[in-house]
Amino acid sequence: MTDEPRKLKGMAKLKAKVKEALHRYSAFGKIVEVAGKREKGFAIRANLAEKQLDELRARRKQLIEHEATQRQLDDNEQLIWLANHRLKKMTEKRLFWTKRRVWARERHHHWGLVIKHRKDRLRRWIQQHETFQSYMANGNPYEKLTPEAKYGIYLDFRGGNYVTSTYEGYPGDGVHSPGSYHYLENQPDGKARCWDAGAGTLSPMNKAQIREAGRAGPFLIEMFGPENTFEYKNGVRFTLAEGDPLETMHDNHKHTCIRDGAPTK
């Protein structure tokens, strides 16, 4: 009938990709945050170790000046070795977390760009698939259709109907009745608001009528089709009796004429 399932799959895929990028972006953001905290913590500890080392070295000078015992000098030397060792360790750990933070920050930034690109792709996809496209007019003229009519055609198309007529011709050509709103001459501003759409079976047409009634009932200047209880004239719903000439005329297609201001999303 239509390629609806394929289209939905395409959109779902793009949405999943955006979601994945958002997830990664926030995960790397979290790593940047944690690594930054660790980095700071080890920097403080390295500073403390450095201070301690300075103090021990000053103490050594004093010991030498005051001719301390070898035992005192040995003790001091051992403490210096330990402080040195501690300083080296804390500096190494600080460096590890700096590298990790920089690594995560680059990825965080990268996924931020990916989010932007993927959102753009999704937006473009919606623009290309979720709106009227010229081919949906099925070879009939479409340039002068109002956005409201184009959106209605898009929905009909999506529901499995094909357009059989828009605003071609002129009153008296026998395609529509002379006063038909299909003809631009019968529109107040030369814009087109009417189209006919059909399908091989009744179901897509009936469904389209019910959908339009719920979506834009008060905006339906005219809607006639095979579903006799969902007919519209000047925004008012009525039922066509079986055998009525208007009913017989629209047994095989849905005729719609839509007023400006109807929803287009």
The CB-of-263 to Zn ion minimum distance in angstroms stands at 21
The CB-of-196 to Zn ion minimum distance in angstroms stands at 4
Beta carbon nearer to Zn ion, 39 or 212: 212
Beta carbon nearer to Zn ion, 76 or 165: 165
List of residues 6+ apart from 1 with CB closer than 8 A: 160, 204
Residue with tokens 């006799």: 228
Q: Strand pairing of 236-238 and 162-165?
A: unpaired
CA gap 256, 182 in Å, rounded: 9
| CB environment 95-116: b (16+ within 10 A), e (fewer) | eebbebbeebbebbeebeebbe
Beta carbon nearer to Zn ion, 101 or 255: 255
> Pick from 47, 43, 19, 17: which is nearest to 101 by CA?
43
The CB-of-182 to Zn ion minimum distance in angstroms stands at 6
The CB-of-237 to Zn ion minimum distance in angstroms stands at 18
Select the residue whose beta carbon is closest to Zn ion and give its number.
255
Beta carbon nearer to Zn ion, 91 or 252: 252
List of residues 6+ apart from 185 with CB closer than 8 A: 170, 171
Beta carbon nearer to Zn ion, 148 or 196: 196
Beta carbon nearer to Zn ion, 134 or 177: 177
The alpha carbon of 214 is separated from its chain's Cα centroid by a whole number of angstroms, namely 26
The CB-of-221 to Zn ion minimum distance in angstroms stands at 12
Binding interface with Zn ion (CB under 5 A): 196, 255
The CB-of-125 to Zn ion minimum distance in angstroms stands at 32
